């Protein structure tokens, strides 16, 4: 009996919903990768707590899958169990006194528009970022216009040691990362500022339209593949290194925005990984810059 079999037995006994051997390609934007030995979808915090305790007792690593937007899953079976916060208690959203209290399973875009429509400023620059709120916090999602981290006042998270609360400062937000690794965010409080709803909506629409013009949002990709090196743009460096449009198997460097690697249909994780290395080699050779991937890789 493997530790995954043992965990499955305990989840079944505890009533925690789960499936075995679940292919993850269909749950990620890139659409590549192997399967999770267990995919659990806790019904509430009690289930989540039980899942963490049982996994820790059995020495099984747990990872949380958000909307799979910024993730490259390798081919072959994963060596850890995966959970998703799809149940209703993890998707609640409430506004009071300028504070948005939002469940980690909520789609970021719906939280953005909820704030905008209520005339609260701070989230409009996060428009068009595909993520759940939990995933956005884990990565400190953002772009030129905004980052989610500075809005955070408090986070509730689950981990092997049980549920805990962290201040925004304790979350360790930095450029496209946080110190929340090993924890699963359950809920967050975001502090917003009073604003003018029509003006915020116009600003959000402007940002969204600019992204549609400059980014291949119709294609299967994980968004920007590399972090921008300080003071420069990864897309510009990749294009100037002659890699725009280059393909590897069924993966290609987007000819619209060179920092997006796209699945042309039928790509493997290996195609993507080889292309990532070719792009890095070319940029190193031409510019002497070592690009750091932004996309999270499993395992
Ligand atoms: N550029 C090129 N060639 C390209 C792409 C871009 O020369 O193929 C040039 C552009 O002309 C521009 C500069 O590079 O002068 C910057 O490009 P862009 O305005 O598209 O922004 P970016 O720095 O590439 C960042 C974020 C995006 C975010 C946009 C808009 C990073 C790594 N990327 O892109 O975030 O959408 O700003 O806010 O921070 C993501 O994180 O997944 C992502 C897409």
Average confidence (pLDDT) over 166-194: 97
Q: Per-residue pLDDT averaged across 260-283, rounded? A: 98
Which of 236, 256, 286 most suits a substitution to test ligand 1, by most atoms within 8 Å of the C-beta? 236
255 lines ligand 1 (CB under 6 A): no
C-alpha span between 209 and 257 (Å, rounded)? 15
pLDDT for 30: 98
Mean residue pLDDT of the chain comes to 97
Question: Are 64 and 56 within 8 A, CB to CB?
Answer: no
Percent of the chain clearing pLDDT 70 (strictly above): 100
What is the structure's pLDDT at 263?
98
pLDDT band at 256 (very low <50, low <70, confident <90, very high): very high
pLDDT at 189: 98
Give the whole-angstrom CA distance, residue 169 versus residue 166.
8
pLDDT of residue 224: 97
Query: From CA 95, how far away is CA 118, in angstroms rounded?
Result: 9
The model's confidence at residue 32, banded by pLDDT at 50, 70 and 90, is very high
223 lines ligand 1 (CB under 6 A): yes
State the average pLDDT over residues 113-123. 98
**285, containing H or E segment:** helix 269-287
Q: Which pLDDT score, from 0 to 100, does residue 218 have?
A: 94
Spatial contact of 68 and 298, defined as CB atoms under 8 Å apart:
no
The average pLDDT across 235-262 equals: 98
Which tokens go with 99?
A: 């504070």
| Average pLDDT over every residue of 57-86 | 97
């Amino acid at each position: 009996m493997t530790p995954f079999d043992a965990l499955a037995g305990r989840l079944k006994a505890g009533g925690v919903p789960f499936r075995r051997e679940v292919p993850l390609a269909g749950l990620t934007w890139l659409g590549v990768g192997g399967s999770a030995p267990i995919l659990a979808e806790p019904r509430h915090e009690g289930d989540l707590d039980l899942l963490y305790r049982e996994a820790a007792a059995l020495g099984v690593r747990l990872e949380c899958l958000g909307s799979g937007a910024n993730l490259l899953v390798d081919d072959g079976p994963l060596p850890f169990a995966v959970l998703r916060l799809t149940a209703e208690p993890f998707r609640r959203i409430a506004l009071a006194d300028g504070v948005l209290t939002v469940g980690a399973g909520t789609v970021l875009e719906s939280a953005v528009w909820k704030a905008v429509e209520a005339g609260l400023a701070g989230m409009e620059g996060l428009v068009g970022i595909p993520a759940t709120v939990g995933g956005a916090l884990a990565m400190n999602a953002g772009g030129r216009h905004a980052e989610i981290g500075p809005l955070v006042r408090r986070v509730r998270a689950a981990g092997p040691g049980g549920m805990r609360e962290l201040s925004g400062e304790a979350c360790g937000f930095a450029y496209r990362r946080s110190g929340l690794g090993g924890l699963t965010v359950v809920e967050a409080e975001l502090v917003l500022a009073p604003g003018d709803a029509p003006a915020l909506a116009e600003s959000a629409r402007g940002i969204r339209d600019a992204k549609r013009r400059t980014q291949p949002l119709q294609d299967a990709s994980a968004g920007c593949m590399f972090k921008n090196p300080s003071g420069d743009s990864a897309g510009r460096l990749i294009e100037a290194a002659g890699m725009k449009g280059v393909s590897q198997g069924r993966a290609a460097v987007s000819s619209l925005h060179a920092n997006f690697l796209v699945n042309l249909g039928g790509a493997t994780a290996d195609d993507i990984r080889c292309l990532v290395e070719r792009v890095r080699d070319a940029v190193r050779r031409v510019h002497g810059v070592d690009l750091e991937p932004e996309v999270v890789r499993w395992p």
